[in-house]
Structure 1
């Protein structure tokens, strides 16, 4: 799959970049790198890691460029790359803000701005020796919020401890990245998933420039969590030949297996009217919407009349129909896969819910699935614990099972699947949420609370980083010697960090997938093929 507006930099830039080196304007403070975006002046922390932040990889998607595919930024200017840039504009639906913001946006990023297409790079200070593996991080946030500027995505620890290059990226979210109204031909369907096009352009930038930071463009590991992991599945789908990455790491993917929501013209018209752009769909209304201030649009989508959270649309360019069949037909990137879930992946999304019937009606429609029909799948559970398991299986476990099993069935032998079970007291922000969605990220990035973390949490951070970095460096062997390659019909599922096992020599306890997936084949798999709008995650 090629995007002409992504590859327009041309091979001539490769010649320029081949002479790029890291230099220092002073002994410690200001490492500099020459890239297609300009001369970046970053920071040396004095502890073996250099960083370059707020690196522009695209022209500002503002004004007349709002709701248009990203355009590569090519510049010879000097760029201050010493501090994190703004997030893309965020949407936090009112109904869930009380839980969502403390869990996924605290501490908050520095600021929000429509001009937000930046990335960050952390690299070992020494670039001597062989080029290093690259971890390309895509944040989660239900395609509605999230940012590369969140403090817990700081790449210093990973780069320092594991001798890898870490890249984190912003991409447009919510209505700015996934407009859901057509306005005639002014926003063609194949230009609707703008946030995904942003991700592609950022990856193209990394391919062109990462060697200047000591990174190996041929050893890029895509890594994402939640909606970021779903983004990784879409990248796998659209690069079946010569993929621009070597491997993929998917944490709690909310991979939508079959159906993606279509446009919502009624909601789009209501939005346009609310911000002062009444009238029928077409050029005139879209022109008006492009002139509305970003803050006005932001306020509407964080207010009481905002439509549901956003999703990508099937355009058969960035998101494909029949993704499982595409895997079986070898129409996806056939690269090693490391994929898994949290033991309590859905707990944070059903906090405060205890009536199973109400949950089922709200999620799947009145009477579609009854408590009696579901009860045999969850013996001994009721209330919140049953709801949490139902949502976990439907939204996370069964889609992951379908995805990894399809890869294994298609003949891919380098697939590794896990379930993560570590629970630490300082991460229990709400009672009973267990190993909740996203609670592995402080361990992954080494950004856990230094004052409250236990010795086990510190040890697990080192262990989990080693697992991920080992896979990024060489995904063709097991990231832990005791971890077998995944076969859905045998004892190859890795229970990670259960029962206090946090050292590299005991963190993996292999088990059969039968118990974890026991509700999938007999019930959820057929329903997962047609997910309702009520289900979702970040």
Structure 2
């Protein structure tokens, strides 16, 4: 398989954070896959298979299935992550990153369990399925389910849109795509390769999960932040149809995809930072440059947003993706798939809480601070006046975090919920209201808080939840709801109040707290305030 794992540089924190260290596992469980035999390790009743290859990535091209092997492959360590500019992954980074991980109560059994397929966050730029927070041991044991996490190509490696530049290099409008063989049009799907990786991973699950004790006809995809956005995109992508039959997104929406024009502007800026022209010669060279050069070029100033590193995500390329994920309506291809959409009450305390001054804002500072962060064009004075009327006890900092959450993060969830409800498709909503006790509670219920609650990894040292008794109690509620949804298409459990689907009439939303409560149109006045202005997802 010619796979190398870079284990050097593993920090002490990461080593202790692993919920089920590989060194503590024992026994071997051999499973046959379509490509060849694999062996895993068993710990506490869970068979664990790490770093299973599901595909081979060729730069800027769709993934392909791996070459078969005959000697059993020891799946005992995570595969490398996609190249990225963040802190190095302890298991290395590589363009050869198409690996998945499985936790199952029992392999090689007649019993077929629901499959919970998790897609990591990090926008479309960073992350890995090997985070200690995503260890599937506790979730598999709790729900008698099979848990899968996955790596796929990110940033330029997964979403650099070169199709229009290739067309221009071939002759532009004088060239008919139908007249060219696939070998001539090598880059037509480059803007969505990361999505195609996920499709291939789900095909691998369909073809192989039965031998790992999973039911290929009962697959739930779930993901947080960028993972949820990738799922929203798959809901509207024809080639993903039939690969899953439940979907749950956690603070991750993709209402609109990147238009091909903006994606081409970004590709051009990316090439320019590499010293390449957007012509045939530049396209040829970018396919052979060292990985480090491409990672460095991700710092190119985004020509559409006007700041930050260049954004890359799914593209409306008319080849893989033919419509925006949730605009102008919910995609009809996935109307029959039950969906759950969640958000956290204080999303932006995770993004904006790193600046201590944001906790000490004055009313005079607030009008200038708000618009760049809530990302819609609405008068900040109207926003401030509305919040002061609704919540007289809020400080300027409280208003800052609440309004940026409502306009920037929650708004996308509302758009998708409304689209599904209007179409009559089954949709459930939740809001994580339980506040983390960490750092005196200043983080509230921030972005990412639901990850360790669903996976039951609150004991991981860097978990925002802490491992308090209350954290474990809310983890019971969260994980059981997700398990129930994977099994039945409804998140209802005996411990929760009656959880009704979301409708336009009631806007039913489960407030996940101690105790939980079903609310009708929670924060409705905030929703109405921001619904006055159009929503287009930043970056698209």
TM-score bracket for the superposition, by shorter chain length: 0.7 to 0.9
Asked if the contact 2:109/2:212 (under 8 Å) is kept, the reply is no
Does structure 2 retain, via aligned residues, the 8 Å contact 1:495–1:509?
Answer: yes
Distance in 2 (CA, whole Å) between partners of 1:464 and 1:385 is 26
For residues 86 and 126 of structure 1, do their structure 2 counterparts lie closer, same or farther at Cα, with a shift above 3 Å needed?
Answer: closer
Pair 1:57-2:54 in alignment: yes
Asked whether 1:183 is paired with 2:165, we answer yes
Following the alignment from structure 2 to structure 1, what is the Cα–Cα distance between the partners of residues 331 and 372? 36
Q: How does 1:87-486 map to 2 (within 5 A)?
A: 87-92=81-86, 108-125=89-106, 128-181=109-162, 182-185=164-167, 188-239=187-238, 243-257=242-256, 260=259, 262-263=261-262, 265=264, 268-275=267-274, 277-278=275-276, 280-301=277-298, 307-324=309-326, 327=329, 330-351=332-353, 352=355, 353=358, 354=361, 355-363=365-373, 368-379=377-388, 380=392, 381=394, 383-412=396-425, 414-426=426-438, 428=439, 432-449=442-459, 453-476=467-490, 478-479=492-493, 480=496, 482-486=498-502
Is the Cα contact below 8 Å between 1:180 and 1:262 reproduced in 2?
no
Instruction: Tell me by how many angstroms 1:363 deviates.
Output: 4.9
Structure 1: gaps of 5 or more residues: 1-26, 93-100, 502-507
1:495 is aligned to 2:502: no
Mapped contact 2:511–2:519 kept (Cα < 8 A):
yes
1:49 shift after superposition: 0.3
After TM superposition, the structure 1 stretch with the greater mean CA deviation from structure 2, 433-442 or 478-487, is 478-487
Quote how far apart the aligned CAs of 1:257 are: 4.0
Q: String of CA shifts for 1:447-486, please: whole Å, max 9, x gaps.
A: 2226851111122223321111111011157344622222
> Are residues 199 and 242 of structure 1, via their aligned partners in 2, closer, same or farther at CA, if it must alter by over 3 Å?
closer
Q: Does the CA-based 8 Å contact 1:239-1:333 persist in structure 2?
A: no
Do the aligned partners of 2:29 and 2:40 also contact (CA within 8 Å) in 1?
A: yes
From the superposition, tell whether residues 520 and 109 of structure 1 become closer, same or farther in structure 2 (CA, over 3 Å): farther
Q: Does the C-alpha gap of structure 1 residues 156 and 241 become closer, same or farther in structure 2, counting only changes over 3 Å?
A: closer
Q: Relative to 1, partners in 2 of residues 1:294 and 1:418: Cα closer, same or farther, differing over 3 Å? A: same
Q: d(CA) in 1 for partners of 2:507 and 2:123?
A: 32
* Cα pair distance change 1:444/1:30, threshold 3 Å: same
Structure 2 CA distance for partners of 1:246 and 1:138, relative to 1, 3 Å: same
Question: Per the alignment, do residues 517 and 141 of structure 1 end up closer, same or farther by CA in structure 2, a change over 3 Å counting?
Answer: farther
Give the secondary-structure state (helix, strand or coil) at the position aligned to 2:100.
strand
Kindly provide the CA deviation profile for residues 269-314 of structure 1, in whole angstroms up to 9, marking residues without a partner as x: 4543544x53x32332122122211123223436899733322211
CA distance in 1, matches of 2:45, 2:265: 54
After TM superposition, give the deviation of residue 375 of structure 1 in Å.
2.5
* Alignment length (residue pairs): 474
Change (3 A) 1:331 1:422: same
Counterparts of 1:317 and 1:521, CA distance in 2: 37
Q: Using the alignment, how far apart are the partners of 1:272 and 1:240 within structure 2?
A: 29
Higher mean displacement: 77-86 or 517-526: 517-526
| 1:69 pairs with 2:75 | no
Q: Counterpart in 1 of 2:526?
A: 519
Q: CA 1:477–1:418 in structure 2 vs 1: closer, same or farther (change >3 Å)?
A: closer
In 2, Cα distance between equivalents of 1:357 and 1:189? 44
The 1:432/1:220 distance shift into structure 2, 3 A limit, reads same
Give CA-to-partner distance per residue, 1:383-417, whole Å, 9 cap, x none.
432222222112322221221222222222x3211
Moved more, 148-157 or 261-270: 261-270
Looking at structure 2, the residues matched to 523 and 41 of structure 1 have their Cα atoms a distance apart, in angstroms, of 52
Cα offset, 1:489, TM superposition: 1.9
Instruction: Find the residue that maps to 2:442 and give its secondary structure.
Output: coil
Kept after mapping to 1: 8 A contact 2:80/2:92 = yes
Instruction: Specify whether residues 259 and 389 from structure 1 end up closer, same or farther in structure 2 by C-alpha distance, changes over 3 A only.
Output: farther
Partner of 1:14: none
TM-score (norm 1): 0.80
TM-aligned CA distance change 1:294 to 1:329, over 3 Å: closer
2:28 to 27, 30, 35: 30
Q: CA deviation at 1:341?
A: 0.6
How far apart are residue 119 of structure 1 and its match?
0.6
Comparing 221-230 and 344-353, the one that deviates more: 344-353
- The Cα shift of 1:424 comes to 2.7
What is the CA–CA distance in structure 2 between the aligned matches of 1:242 and 1:70, rounded to whole Å?
18
Comparing 330-339 and 217-226, the one that deviates more: 330-339
Question: CA shift at 1:70, angstroms?
Answer: 0.8
C-alpha displacement of 1:240: 9.8
